[in-house]
Amino acid sequence: MRKILILIAVFSFSFSFVNAQEPVLLQDQVNIVKARVVEVLNEEQKNLPGTDILSTYQTLKVEILEGPKKGKVIILNDDYLKLKKGDLFLLRDTIRAEDNVQFYSVSDSYRLPALALFAIIFIILVLAIGGIQGIRGLLSLAGSLLLILYVLIPGILDGYSPILMSMTVSSLIIVLGSYITHGFNRTTSSAVIGMIVTVLITGALAYWSVNLTHLTGFESDEAVYLSLNTQGTIDIVGILLSGIMIGLLGVLYDVAIGQAISVEELHKIAPHVSRRKIYLRALRMGREHIGALVNTLAIAYVGASLPLLLLFSMSETASFSVLNREIFATEIIRTLIGSIGLILAVPITTLLAVWILVKKPENADDELIEIEKKALEHAGHKH
């Protein structure tokens, strides 16, 4: 017993010593400020280390334009951006943690004025051409962004399920955007219900597809950094599913509203026609819409991944092996699930719109009914 107590005491002392000596991770102090190039002191072409690729290396005299060091002029080396006199850029002011050495580097171009310019052009065009509907559309967009920034993102960071949060926020965006843009009426309500049902079905399909293909969500550097910054507490697979759901909303909204309005207009011009025929005619319009939208969605994803496609096209790896890689498989699943959602939205929204908007045929003049029936039967036929 005496020996056991001695061993326990030695172990406890050793454990305490190890804990006391455990290194503490020190973080650099980084401050990003706006700066301006006063003068390009030197510029030359050098090979990137380990390659035969030439890159521009500059020695710059720059002035800091904001923060506690505003007005200070410094000299720094730049091998990232090719800058010229008068250019504005973001300067990284770093104090290294281990030795308190301060150094400066080029962080990025200063793009905010250009972004503001194109945002202003966009808003002017929306207001000038869209009129009152354009104003409503902008309000809807603002509300959607606020829901994403102040409900979805904080909710996920607070530990709530990304899947549940994305479905909840998607539904709120649908309701808010639809009623703000198109007003409170039965046509809008039928589109809203159709979109929510489609989102729920698509969410279930997305969950099944991600699990079936064993996607981890770590196909991008951003996902890796997010996991590291949150010490692995974020559900990265859930983030992937959330991205699929949110990315679907814009095109889904277009489909659902279009189908609901088609049903409404068909019923107005032929109130005596049966619900079944209204449904079939509206579905015919929706089929034409599906082809264009599915193509749009797929091409949009391909366009966003074009550099990656070019990179892998230069590889000698077999095509099936490239497609099997997670970075490609993720985009394929994203495109397919989004397209399935769009396809399902057409019959679902059309059916709901017919049920909500179309009344049972009323008695009308028999001759008029016959004329309009023949017109509907021959719609789309070429003579």
Q: Identify the structural domains of the chain with CATH numbers, from first to last.
A: 29-110 (2.40.50), 131-377 (1.20.1640)
Q: What is the pLDDT of residue 326?
A: 82
Model pLDDT for residues 281-323, shown as the tens digit of each residue? 898 888 887 877 777 777 777 776 777 777 777 766 656 677 7
| CB-CB contact of 199 with 171 (8 Å) | yes
Q: Which of 349, 174, 374 is nearest to 263 (CA)?
A: 349
Q: What is the pLDDT of residue 330?
A: 84
Question: pLDDT by residue for the chain (383 residues), tens digit each?
Answer: 454 444 444 444 444 444 444 444 567 788 888 999 999 888 888 877 777 778 888 888 999 998 888 888 989 888 888 888 888 989 988 888 777 788 888 888 899 999 999 999 999 999 999 888 888 888 888 988 899 899 988 888 888 888 888 888 888 888 888 888 888 889 989 999 999 999 889 888 988 988 888 888 887 777 787 887 777 778 888 888 888 888 888 778 888 888 999 999 988 888 888 888 889 889 888 888 787 777 777 777 777 677 777 777 776 665 667 777 887 888 888 888 888 888 899 999 999 999 998 876 655 445 555 665 566 566 555 54
Sheet holding 102-109, edge to edge: 73-78, 54-64, 29-47, 88-95, 102-109
